[in-house]
Amino acid sequence: MAEFPIACNLQGDYGFKVIVVDEDDTIADVIQKTSDQLVGVLVAPFPPDTVLKARIHGAEEPLDDDVTLKGANILQMAALDIYAEG
C-alpha cells in the first residue's frame, strides 16, 4: 500500500482536483474515484452510456483502463484529464 496524491480534471469541472490514489489502483479505479467525488457536486451526471477515459494531461491517447498507476509510471502529483470518449 503506497498512497500518494495526483491531480485529476473531470470533464466539465472548472479545474484540477487532488485525488488520493494507490500505486496498485488501476486507471479505471482512478476514474471511478474521481467521478464518485465530483459527479453531482461540480459536474452533472453523464448520460448512461458514457465511457470515461483518462489520459496524461497534454497527451493525445487515453491510458489503458486495466493498467495500474505503477505500471503506467504515474507518479506523485501527475496530472490526468478524465473525459468522455467519443
Partner 1 sequence: MALLKMEEWYDLARETNWTPSYASEEELYPETMSEDFGIPLNVWETFDEPYKVSYRDYVRAQRDKDVAAYSVKAALARAEFFKNASPHWKALLALHFSAVCWAEFHSASCFGRMTRFGRAPGMRNMATFGTLDEIRHGQIQIYFAYEFLKHDAVFDWCHKSSKTENWIIISLRHALDDIAHTRDGTTAGVMLNMGLEQSFTNLQFVALSADAAKCGDHSFATMLQSIQTDEARHAQIGEPLVRILCENGRKKEAQQMVDISFWRMWKQFSALSGIGMDYYTPLEHRENSLKEFMEEWVIGQFGRTVEAMGLALPWYWDYLKHDIATFHHAQQIGVYVYRATQWWRPIASVSPAEREWLEEKYPGWNDTFGKCWDVVTENIRNGHYDKTVPAPPPLICNMCHLEVSGVAGGEWQPVDYHVDLDGRRYHFCCEPCKWIFELEPARYKGHRSIIDRAFDGTIGPELDDFLNYMGQSEPERGVCGYDYQWIDGYDTPVAAE
Interaction site with partner 1 (CB under 8 A)? 4-5, 7, 9, 11-20, 34, 37-38, 40-44, 57-58, 75-79, 81, 83
Altogether, the residues listed in the chain come to a count of 86
> Between residues 42 and 66, which has the closer beta carbon with respect to partner 1?
42
Listed in sequence order, the residues at least 6 apart from 41 whose beta carbon sits closer than 8 Å to its beta carbon are: none
Nearest distance in Å: CB 85, partner 1: 14
Q: Which SS3 state, helix, strand or coil, does residue 36 take? A: helix
State the cell numbers at 14: 472548472
> Between residues 13 and 23, which has the closer beta carbon with respect to partner 1?
13
